[in-house]
Amino acid sequence: MTTVPAFANCHSHVFHRALRGRVTGADSFWTWRDQMYALAAVLDPDLLFDLARATYAEMHLAGIRSVGEFHYLHHGPDGQPYDDPNAMGEALIAAAREAGVRIALLDTCYLAAGFGLSTSSRSREVEGVQRRFSDGDADSWATRVEDLARKHAGEDDVVIGAAIHSVRAVPRDQLPTVAFAFPFAPLHVHVSEQPAENDECLAATGLTPVALLGEAGAWTPRTTAVHATHLTPDDIATLGDARAYACFCPTTEAELADGIGPSVALREAGARLTLGSDSNTVIDMFAEARAVEMHQRLASGVRGAWTAEQLWQAAGATGHGSLGFAAGDPIEVGESVRTAGADELLWAASAEDVVGDRGDVAHRLAAAIDACWSRT
Ligand SMILES: [Zn+2]
């Protein structure tokens, strides 16, 4: 048995776990999103709690001790708030707590369906299931999140952070409100995951997503750029100068055909790498860490841009810190057919090698996922 640093999973959409192995043959990110929306439409606080508790249990078994939950499924199916407007967020916090995983609930502002079709037109209104995501405007979002933050102030296993879903989903004039609402909390934002987002942002604003967020004051040392896949040299310099975090989610980025982000250029510019399981198609931080280096090799034809030590740092201490937590106790990795003879576990082990009681987690996952799809 060997001890290694506990993992931080800095970008999760926990309910996407129910899509694993079910959405095949979808031909693009956008058709995948349609399937995800069908699932989002049926979740309520009880279903979400069961699914999240089982999925966070899977994360715990994978050695994850902090999760950044990028949470935007706020309201009832028609967009009507629940009696407790934070019922869905509370379900996630309770689920993480039961699973023994610290949670940074990154309460996500999501107000619009996309950019207006010209530079002078307003953002498109949310439609269908997206109504569940929206608080109407950024001030109403901030008021709701303030209430949640007050309830959980001083708890050492919960951080309430903020998130901008994307430049598509928060209109330009409301970005500063979200960026400055919680000046001491983590701020996360999906940025430049898909070329289409960049094209639309340029057409609507004349700026790249990173530049538009820079105009709003979003880039600080407490900010995480999630994905950061399709960046210009100026974008990379902006994130580096701000000492922002860049959260790569390589298994999801491969699954969704996003592309390979400029991890080395970001590091050399001064940005700090963290890792996330995002869509939870895979929950294995060994796989995420290795894939950063493997994708870099495939893209560059050169080996060794990332050392094991740098990747342990990204998967551990840097990640926990980005979510507002200390690194915590190490985890134990057992010997297996995979790890036998390996000097460096980062290149060899999988989540299955983390020591833990697997108990009935598989059964609970299957039951929770069946319950979700039976409602669709
Ligand atoms: Zn995401």
| Residue 80 Cα to chain centre, angstroms | 25
- Residue 248 is encoded by which pair of tokens? 């790569």
Q: How far is the CA of 269 from the centre of ligand 1 (A)?
A: 24
Question: If you count DSSP H runs as helices and E runs as strands, how many of each does the chain have, helices first?
Answer: 14, 12
Task: State the pairing for strand pair 124-125/112-114.
Answer: antiparallel
Q: How far is the CA of 337 from the centre of ligand 1 (A)?
A: 33
Tokens 């039976």 correspond to what residue? 374
DSSP, res 80: P
Q: Which pLDDT score, from 0 to 100, does residue 75 have?
A: 98
Active site residues: 227, 278
Residues 14, 92 contacting (CB under 8 angstroms): yes
- Residue 320 is encoded by which pair of tokens? 């926990």
Tokens 């079910």 correspond to what residue? 22
Pick from 188, 231, 227: nearest CA to 209? 231
Q: How far is the CA of 342 from the centre of ligand 1 (A)?
A: 33
Superfamily of domain 2-374: Metal-dependent hydrolases (3.20.20.140)
Q: How far apart are CA 51 and CA 53, in angstroms?
A: 6
Residues 316, 327 contacting (CB under 8 angstroms): yes
Q: 3-state class of 314 per DSSP?
A: helix
Q: Which pLDDT score, from 0 to 100, does residue 30 have?
A: 75
Neighbours of 293 (CB within 10 A): 22
Please give the single-letter amino acid code of residue 47. L
Report, as ranges of residue numbers, the positions in the chain whose pLDDT lies below 50: none
